[in-house]
Chain A
Amino acid sequence: MNLDSIYTEIITEYSQSKHNERTIDSPTKSLKGHNPSCGDEINLEIKIKDNIIEDAAFTGVGCAISRASTSIMIDLIKGKRIKDALNLVDTFIGMIKREITNDEDLEILEDAMALKNISNLPARVKCAVLAWHTLKQALE
């Protein structure tokens, strides 16, 4: 396994950046995501107005991969319509499961494409998808 392909600059920077780590005043949805086997625990909050995700943020503890993945996701979905956010979630999970491999189809994920190589590290896949599954649950 090549650590360079996992702990990339994008991942380490996002994992240390705190810009999405906060609480939101009166969020529309607040949902806990939990990986019982490793102890990653995030609380995702989103504010929705007119079917658009106006704001999103998270609190909690997690590894670099889950934190980076959560923060990248939040940057990506803010200002998006719910329908489009759900499409991003499906695309991301498809990428991790290697069901979507074409780079053109993945382009909409922007920085989240940096997590593509996590699929080479089966033990960490659940860290990468935690926030995305949580978002999907919150939106559905």
Chain B
Amino acid sequence: MKQISVDDIRKDFPVLNQTINGRKLIYLDNAATTQKPNTVIKSIENYYKSFNGNPHRGAHYLSLKSTEIYETGRKKVANFINASSTREVIFTRNATESLNLLAYSYGMNFIEEGDEIVISIMEHHSNLIPWQQVAKSKKAVLKYLYTNEEGIITEEEIKKKITDKTKLVSIAHVSNALGTINPIKFIIDYAHSRDAKVILDAAQSLPHMKVNVKNLDVDFLVFSGHKMLAPLGIGVLYGKENLLEKIPPFLYGGDMIEYVYEDSTTFAELPHKLEAGTQNVAGVLGLTKAIDYLNEIGMDNIEEMESELTSYALEKLDSLSEIELYGFKGISNRGSVISFNVKDVHPHDTASILDAYGVAIRAGHHCAQPLMRYLGINATCRASFYFYNTKEEIDLFIESLKNVRKWLGYES
């Protein structure tokens, strides 16, 4: 691993260098959204100062410049995930919109009565509700992959649930609620052996590890820019070209057409067919700069740095008797997410108390109510790390955590 100074990295992130409630901010809510480096922030300012125009539309300098920035971003994303061509990269607002696009354009048109859709119990609501609605409307069957007592989806479970009737499997690469890394290569290969297509929700994996769509042979993949240093409001849908060719447009409007007549329309080629209306060029530029930043550090290094942080935090949390940990206990198959509770304390109280110490974590059901119900809990606290976090921050987080019960009137 090349020598990387986290102190230097942190200088690039203005948000991290401030005090909250009179204390140094410790930002451990990276699974919700990540902070942005100066290169991303400045690129957006620069875009609106110098290049703002409507892409794909005009013959003038600014419109051409915006088009160039937008399409350069598409190339950058295609390279980052190792897509075969830029025709396979569709820009959306976020992973949620990408999944809804697939549910409406793919699900509603290719799922038929009696077909089976398989998802997992740990899906985020955004990868659950769209399929629930498709199943309802098409009279298809929605099936869940459940975790075993170790918090893992076993090969046995996969073979049991994915059958010849399965048309589609949609699954999170890494669980946003528990941090579990799912056995996606096995799922993809097994689903393909049953002629089912696979959608990978990479919102919690792509920011933290190398994801290669060609090696995975995944059919569709979705992610959000804001969870990987890019601004809010830019997301991606990747799809194999032959599949994207088949699906009808999701939104109709400008820029996605060839010829429009009074009673009929022919649509543009990929990728434009699936991108209606004026697009978020500044968001794409921000995403481009974010990918440059991640590449500069190296995804392998990022994975290693975060794995070290996560195991350090896990060890510390595990040594506190008042902490209960949820989900998979080990470090080997885990992203940089830890779900826990403080004994006798509701997660919202824990989060409010930690906030007073400057520590930002998430509390709640993490948009995964069926998972919480399955685990027999109401809500959890979630600490999630990014490569810019430090062991010192984790120490302060642990020290603050030790005060929580005291604030609620417990003796220790």
Separation of A52 and B340 alpha carbons in the complex (Å):
44
Contact B379 A6 (CB under 8 A): no
Q: Please tell me if B148 contacts chain A, counting CB pairs below 8 Å.
A: no
Contact A63 B346 (CB under 8 A): yes
A1 CB contacts on chain B under 8 angstroms = 21, 355-356
Q: Which residue of B lies closest to A67 (CB)?
A: B346
Separation of A9 and B406 alpha carbons in the complex (Å):
11
A64 CB contacts on chain B under 8 angstroms = 345-346, 349, 408
Contact B372 A39 (CB under 8 A): yes
19 A-B contact pairs sorted by A residue (CB < 8 Å) = A1-B21, A1-B355, A3-B352, A3-B407, A7-B353, A7-B407, A9-B409, A12-B407, A38-B347, A38-B364, A38-B379, A39-B372, A39-B379, A62-B346, A64-B345, A64-B346, A64-B349, A121-B352, A124-B348
Separation of A64 and B355 alpha carbons in the complex (Å):
16
Q: Please tell me if A37 contacts chain B, counting CB pairs below 8 Å.
A: yes
Q: Please tell me if A87 contacts chain B, counting CB pairs below 8 Å.
A: no
Within 8 A of B (CB), among A111-128: 121, 123-124, 127
- B: number of interface residues (CB 8 Å): 20
B347 CB contacts on chain A under 8 angstroms = 38, 63
Contact A39 B378 (CB under 8 A): yes
B411 to chain A, nearest CB (A): 12
B194 to chain A, nearest CB (A): 36
A9 CB contacts on chain B under 8 angstroms = 409
Separation of A37 and B363 alpha carbons in the complex (Å):
10
Q: Please tell me if B289 contacts chain A, counting CB pairs below 8 Å.
A: no
B365 CB contacts on chain A under 8 angstroms = 38-39
Please pick, from B353, B378, B407, B408, the residue contacting A41 in the complex, using a CB distance under 8 A: B378
* Chain B residues in the interface with A (C-beta under 8 A): 21, 345-349, 352-353, 355-356, 363-365, 369, 372, 378-379, 407-409
Interface size class of A (residues with CB under 8 A): 20 to 34
Contact A12 B409 (CB under 8 A): yes
B378 CB contacts on chain A under 8 angstroms = 39, 41, 61
Within 8 A of B (CB), among A74-110: none
Given known pairs A39-B378, A62-B346, A64-B346, the reply for A12 and B408 (CB within 8 Å) is yes
B21 CB contacts on chain A under 8 angstroms = 1
B145 to chain A, nearest CB (A): 23
B349 CB contacts on chain A under 8 angstroms = 7, 63-65
Contact A3 B364 (CB under 8 A): no
Separation of A127 and B347 alpha carbons in the complex (Å):
12
Separation of A16 and B344 alpha carbons in the complex (Å):
9
Q: Which 3 A-B pairs have the closest CB atoms?
A: A12-B409, A63-B346, A39-B379
Contact A123 B409 (CB under 8 A): no
B215 to chain A, nearest CB (A): 38
A63 CB contacts on chain B under 8 angstroms = 346-349
Please pick, from B345, B352, B353, B408, the residue contacting A123 in the complex, using a CB distance under 8 A: B352
Separation of A9 and B364 alpha carbons in the complex (Å):
25
Contact A13 B364 (CB under 8 A): no
Contact A3 B353 (CB under 8 A): yes
B355 CB contacts on chain A under 8 angstroms = 1
Within 8 A of B (CB), among A8-27: 9, 12-13, 15-16
B353 CB contacts on chain A under 8 angstroms = 3, 7
B190 to chain A, nearest CB (A): 34
B168 to chain A, nearest CB (A): 28
Please pick, from A7, A12, A38, the residue contacting B348 in the complex, using a CB distance under 8 A: A38
A30 to chain B, nearest CB (A): 20
Q: Which residue of B lies closest to A60 (CB)?
A: B378
For A12, A16, A38, A41, the residue with the greatest tally of chain B CB atoms inside 10 Å of its CB is A38
Separation of A63 and B365 alpha carbons in the complex (Å):
13
B363 to chain A, nearest CB (A): 7
Q: Which residue of A lies closest to B372 (CB)?
A: A39
For B347, B348, B353, the residue with the greatest tally of chain A CB atoms inside 10 Å of its CB is B348
Separation of A124 and B21 alpha carbons in the complex (Å):
16
A6 CB contacts on chain B under 8 angstroms = 352
B170 to chain A, nearest CB (A): 23
B348 CB contacts on chain A under 8 angstroms = 38, 40, 63, 65, 124, 127
B356 CB contacts on chain A under 8 angstroms = 1-3
